Chain A
Amino acid sequence: MSQTVIASPAIETNGGTLRLPAEAPLRLDSGATLAPLEIAYKTYGRLNAERSNAVLVCHALTGDQHAASIHPITGKPGWWNRVIGPGLPLDPDRYFIICTNVVGGCMGSTGPSSLDPATGKPYGLTFPVITIADMVRAQAMLMDALGIGTLFAAVGGSMGGMQVLQWAADYPHRLRSAVCIAAAARHSAQNIAFHEVGRQAIMADPDWRGGAYEAHGVRPEKGLAVARMAAHITYLSEAALQRKFGRELQRDGLSWGFDAPDFQVESYLRYQGASFVDRFDANSYLYITRAVDYFDLAGAYDGVLAQAFRRARDVRFCVLSFSSDWLYSTGESRDIVRALNAAGCRASFVEIETDKGHDAFFLDEPVLDSALRGFFESQASRGGLA
C-alpha cells in the first residue's frame, strides 16, 4: 500500500471524506474488492513539517470519527474528549490527530447503507463481509492520501485496540508506538455469543426486511435497540450497575405489568437502546460485529500470537486493561503482553483498578490519563517531538 492516492476534493485540515476512484479499490480479506471507496475522517491539530506527529485514533464498535468534536446527530461532545484536547494526553497543539469512520460504518465511510454503484441502491446484505484488517487497510490508504508515511502512534480501545494490534502486525514499519486499551487479540466464544444475540434481535425485527429496509422506507429500530441493550450490559460491570441502580424503582410501587419499566435499570437500558437507533444503522451493526467476531490475530500465524508481532520490534507498545472489564478481561491483555515479550517487543502493561467495567476507557480514570500521558511523553521525547 505504498502508492499515494490523491483524493479528488481537497482534503480539509479538520477532516472530510476521502473519495477513492474505482481504480483504487479496497482489497478485502474475503477476496472481494470495494470500490469506489469513501473514508470519512476528522482531524485535530496540524501535521508538522517532518510529518512525524500523526496519531491515528481508532474507534470502538459503535463509535465514529467524532472523537473530540460535537457529534452531528446527537449534538453530544466527542467520545474521547477526555483524552484529546488542549492540555490533555493527546494535545492538538502537539499532535496531528486523525480519527476515521471504519469501513462498514454508517457515518460517511462506505458501508452497507452506501449506494452500490452497480445498482444505484443501498448495498444492504450485498455489501461484502469486512474484517478488522480491511478496516486497517482502508486507514492506511487514507494515510497514503494524507502523505503520512509513519504514524507517531495508533491508539484505540476495544475494537479500536484490535485495529491497533492489526496495524502493528500489518504495517509495523509505519508505526512508532501503539496503545491498545481494553481489547483482545481474538474474540472469545462468549464475545461472539453476545454479538450473535444482537444480530438475531435485528434480523428478527419484521422491519429488517432481509436487510433491504431502506427500500421499504422502514428501519428495524426495535431489533437494533434490543441489540444495543444486550451489548450495553456487557460494557458495564455488575458492581457499576448495582451502584448506579440497585433495585431502585422508577415510581412508587410495582406496576404489576410489562408496559412501563418498573426498575431504573430497565429504564436506563431502554433509553440506551432508543437513543442508539437515532445514530446507528442496523446493517452496519451486523457487519461490524461480524468483523470483530472474525478477529483472531494469531490465526494468520499458525496460532502463535508472538509471530504476529515479530516484525514490530521497533514499535513501543502500551497495553491497558480494566480490572472489572469482563468483556475483554485482563487475561486477554496479558496474553497480548506475553506475546509481545516473546516477540522481543518493548511493552508497558497495567491493569487499572476500577469497578466501571469495559466502558471505563471513556470515563474518568486518573490512572488511565496518567499512563497515557506518561507513555506519549516518553515517546515524544524519543521521537524528538517538541
Chain B
Amino acid sequence: MSGLREDFKEILRLVRPNARVLDVGCGEGELLELLTQEKGVDGQGLEISPSGVAACLAKGIAAVQGDGDRDLDHFPTQAFDYAILSKTLQQMREPRHVLSELLRIADRAIVSVPNFGHWRVRWALLTQGRMPETKALPEPWWSTPNIHLCTLRDLTALCDELGLRIEACAAVSRGQPARSIDPSRAIENWRAETALFLLTRERPRPPAPEPTATGDLFA
C-alpha cells in the first residue's frame, strides 16, 4: 500500500465497500482494480483511449471506450453510488455539464483537480510571465490537455452554483499524506497542489428520467 498514489489512497478511504463505482477517464483501470481488490466494488470504467480500455478488459475490469464529455448522458440516473473523475475535469470541454452529470448518475462524486491557485503556479506566472509548468502541470501551454484549469476557489464557487455540497476535501501532494482541508480558506488556495473533493447534491434531485428519455439512441 505504501507505493500507492496519494490520491488513490484517499479515494480508497472514501469509497464504501461493495459500492457501484463509475470511473470516468479510468486509464488502464489501476484505480478500479485497486477498489475491486480492496473494497469489492462493482466497477465500471469509461476511457477514451482504445489501448486503455483493452488493458482494462485484460485485467477483467468492465470498461467502455467513450468520451466523458459526450457519453455520460447515456447513463441512467443514480446508476452508481460513486462517480470518480480523477484529474480529468480540467481536460473536459464542458466541465460544468460533466460535474452536473456525475451527480445525476451517482449519489456521490469524487473529483480531483490540479489547483491553478497553488503558490508555485502563481510564482511561476508572476516571475516568468509565462504559462506555468509545475510538477502537477508538467506540459507546455501548446501541448497540455488541460484546457479548463481552475483554482480551488473557482471549483468551490462552481459547486455552489450547481447546488453541490462539499462533503469532504483533501489536499494531495506527491509523496505526502493527504491532508483534510477546508477549501473555502484562502490559505488552502495557495497551499494545495491538487485538491480532492467528495461531492453530493445539496438540493432535491430533479425527477429521474426513464431510459426512454435519454434521447434518440440512434442519433
- Please list the residues of chain A having a beta carbon within 8 angstroms of any beta carbon in chain B: 298, 304-307, 310, 316, 318, 334-335, 337-339, 341-344, 346-353, 367, 370-371, 373-375, 377-378, 381
8 Å CB contact of A348 from B63, B71, B212, B218? B63
Interface size class of B (residues with CB under 8 A): 20 to 34
Interchain CB contact under 8 A, B53 and A348: yes
Known: A349-B66, A350-B57, A373-B58. A342 touches B50 (CB 8 A): no
Known: A341-B75, A349-B65. A306 touches B212 (CB 8 A): yes
Interchain CB contact under 8 A, A304 and B217: yes
Which residues does chain B contribute within 8 Å of A343, judged by CB atoms? 76, 211
Interchain CB contact under 8 A, B54 and A350: yes
Interchain CB contact under 8 A, A342 and B57: no
8 Å CB contact of A350 from B44, B53, B76? B53
| Residue of B whose beta carbon sits closest to that of A366 | B54
Interchain CB contact under 8 A, B71 and A351: no
| Pairs A-B, 8 closest by C-beta atoms | A378-B60, A374-B58, A371-B57, A350-B53, A338-B74, A306-B211, A374-B57, A370-B58
Which residues does chain B contribute within 8 Å of A347, judged by CB atoms? 44, 62, 64
Fill in one digit per residue for B37-64: 1 if any A CB lies within 8 Å of its CB, else 0: 0000010100000100110111111111
Q: How far apart are the CA atoms of A373 and B60 in the complex, in Å?
A: 8
Q: How far apart are the CA atoms of A351 and B48 in the complex, in Å?
A: 10
| Residue of A whose beta carbon sits closest to that of B80 | A344
- Please list the residues of chain B having a beta carbon within 8 angstroms of any beta carbon in chain A: 42, 44, 50, 53-54, 56-66, 71, 74-76, 79, 211-212, 214, 217-218
| Residue of B whose beta carbon sits closest to that of A186 | B218
8 Å CB contact of B60 from A298, A310, A349, A381? A381
Most chain B CB within a 10 A radius of its CB, from A337, A350, A367, A375: A350
8 Å CB contact of B57 from A305, A339, A344, A348? A348
Interchain CB contact under 8 A, A318 and B217: no
| Residue of A whose beta carbon sits closest to that of B75 | A341
Which residues does chain A contribute within 8 Å of B58, judged by CB atoms? 370-371, 373-374
8 Å CB contact of B211 from A304, A337, A349, A374? A304
Q: List 25 A-B contacts (CB under 8 A).
A: A298-B217, A304-B217, A305-B218, A306-B212, A316-B62, A337-B66, A338-B71, A339-B217, A341-B64, A342-B217, A343-B211, A347-B64, A348-B56, A348-B57, A348-B62, A348-B63, A348-B64, A349-B63, A349-B64, A350-B63, A370-B57, A374-B58, A374-B61, A377-B60, A378-B62
Q: How far apart are the CA atoms of A304 and B64 in the complex, in Å?
A: 21
Which residues does chain B contribute within 8 Å of A348, judged by CB atoms? 53, 56-57, 62-64
Which residues does chain A contribute within 8 Å of B75, judged by CB atoms? 341-342
Which residues does chain B contribute within 8 Å of A371, judged by CB atoms? 54, 57-58
